[in-house]
Chains A and B, each alone.
Chain A
Amino acid sequence: MQKRLCSVLFGFLCVTWQPVHAEISAEIIQQTFYPYAAGTPSASGLAPGTMVSKDSWDAAKDYLPPEILDKVKTGELTFTVQETTDLPVGEAYIEATRKYAEQVRLGNDGELEGYVAGLPFPVLDSADPQAGLKAAWNLRHRDFGDVMQTWTTFRLLPESGSAEREMENYFVIAYGMHRPQTDGVNPNRWEADGVLYKEFYQILTPFDLKNSMSLKLRYDHDQANDGNWLYSPTSRKIRKVIIKQDEATYDSGFLNEDYFGYWGYVRSCHWKLLGTKRLLAPVGIKAASATFGGRGNWYPVDPWELRDMLVLECTPKAKGHLYSKRVLYIDRQLFASVYALFYDDAGKHQKTLFEVYSNPQYSPGNEHLRVPIWAGESMIDYETKLGSMTVISKAIYNVPLPEDFFDLDRILARGR
């Protein structure tokens, strides 16, 4: 009788347990996506308007990684503090997280299983040995918007401040899988092909590179290598190419996998979640384009604000990799890396990457959006004393592109 009662009770528990755990709790949703709804963080001596500089850094010492604080102390970087901006991502993305996150698992090969849309793992426990890997998947599937179009200037700036190379570019990323539906429109048009997103890149100037174009397909399956094509105006042909993730783009400060903090394969790193921290970062800037200053004009100098962050370490698996590790500082609300520290093979801090995101209200045409609006980036290589900068002239989000925009023949048609 007792046994039967137990089984009935277990059955009842199963029935009642299911709805409870089928969706993520409102509390977790609140903590993950609206961490500043109840009030913005504050810290003693870091009130909005405070300047953090080589003469006044003490209050910021617990709110900056030591590697960045050192640059403040030496006078390379100075910034003011602004009040923390509440920047929740899209409602549809949050809703998808609520709906699907509970069914997401890591497979034996480290791939995601059961993932549909939204943030795969809204709950991360640093005691979980797989927390780092889960955070890496979160990074990959953060809310990037459906489509991002940017017009940028890429510069290689030595300390003298005079650009060694400079290119104006048009850069597009469009997602075709795992995007939540909005307004009844399904943006997941590449599901059948297994393509997570496509990137199109076109050089607008200088003359010798004008109309060089590339197309990249990032597959949903992480074990699959990217598909890459390159159109060269010199040859007037489109050509398949293999791009090594761990090589420097044009011998700049960026490795191909460095963009946006980490833009490579999840499988390429051993991931470790180091914990959470409240830190200052150039997020929510009140401009469409980041302003750079300080030493070599390398540093983002729009006001910084206190943000809650995850600290995620990536140790490359590849032999001979230029980095022994990289540490990503990921904004918990946006789940975008806002700065990253890179260490050479001897373990010495070599580079810092800043990714700057603006407050949509200050980005013309994007005011109504809830997406991290990319406002610029700067990779500072202290060994070569070089800043590799992307300055955004214009960014447009979530404006649909023609169906055939990424087709190879369309690129051919645009050629030369």
Chain B
Amino acid sequence: MMRSLEPKARSRESRLWRWQWTKWSIVGWALLLAKLSPALLHADWTYGSLSLSGNLQTQQLLRHPEPDKWSIVQQRNVVRARLDYDWLKEGQAFGRFNFSWIRHAHFVALYRGVYDSIYDFRPGPRLEAFPYRGATRRDGTLADLTQGAAHALRFESIFREAYSDIEFADIPLTLRVGRQMVVWGESDNLRMLDRTNALDTTWHGGGLGLETWDDLRIPYWMIKGLYSFGKVGPLIDVFLESYWVPGHWVPAKIGFLPGRPWGTPFTDPLAGSPTGGNFRLLDDTVLGRHGDYGQNPGHNSQVGIRLGATTPQGLTLTLNYLYQRIAQDDGMNTTSLRGRNQCLIGTSQCESALAVAAQNTLLIERGVLPAEAYYPYVHTLGISASYVDDEYTEAVWRMETIYEFGKPFADKRKPILILGEAGTPVPSGLLGVKKSDAWQAFVGFDRPTWIRALNRRTTFFLTTQLFWQYIPVNTRRFQGQLAPTDKVRNWEMVGTLAASTVYLRGTLLPIAFIVIDPINHYSAQFSWIVDYYFTPRLILRLAQSYFFVPGFGGEVDETWGLGGLFRRRDETAVRVTYQF
């Protein structure tokens, strides 16, 4: 009896020690900050052409699937630092070397260091995956992670961006060279033209509004140029912007349960290989990392170009073209897993479906799925525009639309067969791919609105968007990614409404928003965020997100990350930030 209890006691002791260590490390940080604060408050972080700024941040994420069930799922400590350096001014680099053809050059480096301290005390509540699989399924807990797995996940230390802007003296051209992000389009949180940089959902899936897109996007090494034409005929502010990602592009990064409890609500679909560990994919492709291509300019370049202008009537618009691999992060129910039979029926070694299934089964027994991570190139044409209507609506109207050519959908008519228990061919669940075009668009408006009963001095900024997408082929043959019942519809639609204002002399900034999907049982997310500035440097954030499907308890397959996908993932965030 004693022996059987001993490991548990040791484990408890170990966890207690870890928790105490974490607690004291937090106290230590606080004391250090308190000691440094007076110095920092008066510190001059600008030294000539060099300046340093950043923040220290800690965020606790509490999940409460039911009002009386709360558990911590994230304790994230982040340091961000930004270095700015004007290395070339008025044609002089470093104050010494003459580059008269460059007007100005500026270097920026943005560092992010993360310590997810929750991996050190690993609380034990069950982390529910996509909650329609029945209560019997065990979805894991953080405590299930091995020491090694936890250690691998808890730290991040990276210069997320490091680029130089170079402004030429005699031509109206600016280059940005280095690791960076490119953000186009008019929409908020809808990824149509804002698709140059894929998303890292391991940062916080379902963190819409709570996290900045800066933290969610994956920066790439690229070169971007912006050429200003100025006035052209009746058009003003005419410009041409273009970028090239010469090879180091990666698709959306996915984090699974239980290792990333704030990531996607799934366990790893590739888990359970008969050889141990996870299944591998064909051609050494990796889901969420890379498909069957080299990370070089010849195989993996991404490009985009846009032309912008403002008309005499005040209409600001851009015309856009992007040629990129699909990142699998725009909410559309496409697939990034392409099933591939190991041989084609009718070839010498595959005369029947049985032979195809046998080949596939043989592969699976070796720990390889007959499928590849698939990120094909897609052509995207797009338009964005905005217009101020002072007279009637007193609002800024915004729109954006894209048409994409050849997006990959899982095709039910292309099942990958394996041998069933009876030795006959049965579908494996993996599917081949059928490509289709797709159209996405939104219209929305921003309106500063007086609601003097709630705020006498400052308007409420109301912003709303209506988004839709259309797939112009018969979609019944397509299979969604969430479950076998997941339908791909021709039409999808999502509406958003957000309101924000300012109180208490700029120290209290509340925002609330709701996102509704009227096609999928009004699956919705409601969130509120309040930032309170104790001092100009010390900020407290409280936020809550609720994911729900009003009046419907059944399974809702939707890919927008609302009540259907994130049901029972209601969250409360407490964040403290110290900025310098």
Contact = CB atoms under 8 A, between A and B. Distances in A.
Given A239-B396, A241-B396, A404-B230, A413 B167 contact: yes
Contacts of B181: 236, 416
Contacts of A158: 505
A409 B533 CA distance: 33
Contacts, number: 140
B388 A251 contact: no
Interface size class of B (residues with CB under 8 A): 35 or more
Interface in A374-416: 384, 386, 402-404, 407-410, 412-414, 416
B279 to A, nearest CB: 38
Given A236-B181, A251-B506, A252-B506, A206 B457 contact: no
B580 A166 contact: no
A207 B580 contact: yes
A229 to B, nearest CB: 9
A409 B396 contact: no
A61 interface: no
Contact of A206 (B165, B390, B450, B536): B536
B130 interface: no
A248 interface: yes
Interface in B210-226: 212-214, 226
B46 to A, nearest CB: 9
Contacts of A412: 226, 239, 241
Interface string B47-89: 0000001110000000000000000000000001010000000
A205 interface: yes
A235 B188 contact: yes
Contacts of A247: 448, 450, 457-459
B502 interface: yes
A163 interface: yes
Contact of A164 (B226, B237, B535): B535
Interface in B534-564: 535-537, 539
Contact of A242 (B82, B239, B395, B539): B395
Interface string A154-166: 0010100011111
Nearest to B389: A242
A225 interface: yes
Interface SS, A side = loop
Given A235-B188, A242-B396, A384-B505, A210 B226 contact: no
B136 to A, nearest CB: 43
Nearest to A205: B53
A250 B502 contact: yes
A322 interface: yes
A237 interface: yes
Contact of B505 (A156, A225, A236, A242): A156
Interface in B146-182: 165, 167, 172, 174, 176, 181
A240 interface: yes
B580 A243 contact: no
Nearest to A250: B506
A207 B536 contact: no
Contacts of A410: 174, 228
A251 B53 contact: no
B535 to A, nearest CB: 7
Interface stretch (B1-9, B308-316, B366-374): B308-316
Contact of B533 (A162, A164, A403, A408): A164
B183 A236 contact: yes
A208 interface: yes
Contact of A413 (B226, B316, B457, B458): B226
A318 to B, nearest CB: 10
B283 interface: no
B137 to A, nearest CB: 38
A193 interface: yes
B448 A242 contact: yes
Given A207-B80, A235-B213, A247-B448, 4 more contacts: A163-B535, A193-B236, A208-B577, A250-B506
Interface of B: 53-55, 80, 82, 103, 108, 165, 167, 172, 174, 176, 181, 183, 185-186, 188, 212-214, 226, 228, 230, 236-237, 239, 241, 308, 310, 314, 316, 386-388, 390, 394-396, 398, 446-448, 450, 452, 456-459, 502-507, 533, 535-537, 539, 577, 579-580
Q: Shortest 9 CB-CB distances between A and B: which pairs?
A: A409-B239, A236-B183, A250-B506, A413-B174, A207-B579, A166-B536, A248-B457, A251-B502, A408-B237
